Amino acid sequence: MLNIGISLNFNDSYDRGVTSGILSFARDNDWRMFSNGLWFSSFSGVKLDGMIARIESEQDVSRCRKYGIPVVDIAGAISSHGFDVVKNDDRLTGSFIGRHLMQSNTGRFAIVSVKGTSWSAEREEGFIDSIRLDRRSVPVFCAPLAYWHDTYGNADDLDRFLSSLPHPTALFCCNDLSAMKTMIACERLRIKVPKQLAIAGVDDEQLMCMLVKPSLTSLKLRLEKIGYEAASRLQDVIEGKRLQPAVKLVPPSSIVERESTFCFFSHDRIVAQTMMNIKRLATSGLSCGEIIADIPLSRRRIEERFFEERGRTLLEEVIACRLSHAKELLESGDSKVETIWRSCGFGSAQRFYSLFGRHFQMTPDAWRKVHRQ
């Protein structure tokens, strides 16, 4: 039996989700678990065989090294500590948010980030890459983690940044904590979300997401997967199966869309309403006629106005929306392809494979393999 320490704070959903994955592995592998705090026995005085830790500072690095045992880091905030790392794929996280915010059609983007953290910097990079703009054209507000933890503290500099943004703008907050303080500032400044600023965060901290008004769109991470993979990696290191430290990236899950990004910007209200309907109903499997049934205009006129602005037909837009959702599920989860095409509103597997191949020149299975590497 192995004695394994968990060095986490358990004060957010990240730690709790990762711990759930660790415990899932531990139950199948005869581990005894120890930690400082929560419901675990303390590892003070216990001879540990290995440790899983959230390393976010040089002090954390020093503390973990003094044990002289194998350590797996689940944060990846420090780049050169020499431990194995299993963490969220932060570049892909930024890319997911970028693709989502592009659907709002604002044409303008901004970023709120956390200073001094590699995960925030990587999310920024992924976001910039996905929206295909010069970094210099994207305004960025950056502040240390302590600033964002002070939710209701002084925010004059944040207020100035938000007030300087043109409307409409799509704003990427690198985590839900920064998004919460940002949305509180928007309410104070009477900036309308999402009409003037469409805002999305990361972590899907449900309490934070639902406390703010309007509710916050956020990207859910695969925390249990991170925990399970970290535990598996630690077992390999303890058994001598791995000699060189390595980094394993776990792709994020999926975007949970709430009110803060439920918008589409257009000078034509019919086009805007049509796009909102498509965003809401495309993956339900409804026909184009059913999707626009509540719009007080003939199908032909809607099609004409829609094509004039979007450059494609209603059906092409619906298919694009379904394929976008399918790509997200293929990249992030382990669902079977059959489950994916059904949940995205495709009528059959043949239809799904045909459209996917036509648009991306590869099969869904090949897409998943390429984007998981």
- pLDDT one-digit tens code per residue, 324-360: 889 888 877 678 999 999 999 999 999 999 999 999 9
* Residue 121 near residue 113 (C-beta atoms within 8 A): yes
Band the pLDDT of 133: cuts 50, 70, 90.
confident
- Domain positions in the chain: 2-88+223-250, 90-221+255-261, 269-368
Domain 90-221+255-261 falls in which CATH fold? Rossmann fold (3.40.50)
What's the chain's average pLDDT? Answer: 91
Cross-sheet strand order for the sheet of 31-35: 31-35, 2-7, 50-53, 71-73, 84-88, 247-250
Q: pLDDT tens digits, residue range 263-311?
A: 888 889 999 999 989 988 999 989 999 999 999 999 999 999 999 988 9
The pTM of this model reads 0.81
pLDDT, residue 4, reads 93
Tell me if domain 2-88+223-250 and domain 269-368 are identical in fold: no
Among 127-131, 231-235, 240-244, 278-282, where is mean pLDDT lowest? Answer: 240-244
CATH topology of domain 269-368: Arc Repressor Mutant, subunit A (1.10.10)
Q: Which residue has the higher pLDDT, 350 or 244?
A: 350
Cα–Cα distance measured from residue 255 to residue 10, given in angstroms and rounded to the nearest whole number: 23
Q: What is the pLDDT of residues 53-81, one digit of tens each?
A: 999 888 989 988 998 999 999 998 877 78
What's the half-sphere exposure (Cβ side, CA atoms, 13 Å) at 94? 23
CATH code for residues 2-88+223-250: 3.40.50.2300
197-202 β-sheet, strand order: 140-144, 109-115, 169-173, 197-202, 217-219, 255-256
Q: Check residue 9 and give its pLDDT.
A: 82
Q: Which two tokens stand for residue 34?
A: 């120890």
Instruction: Examine the pLDDT at 373 and tell me if it is beyond 60.
Output: no
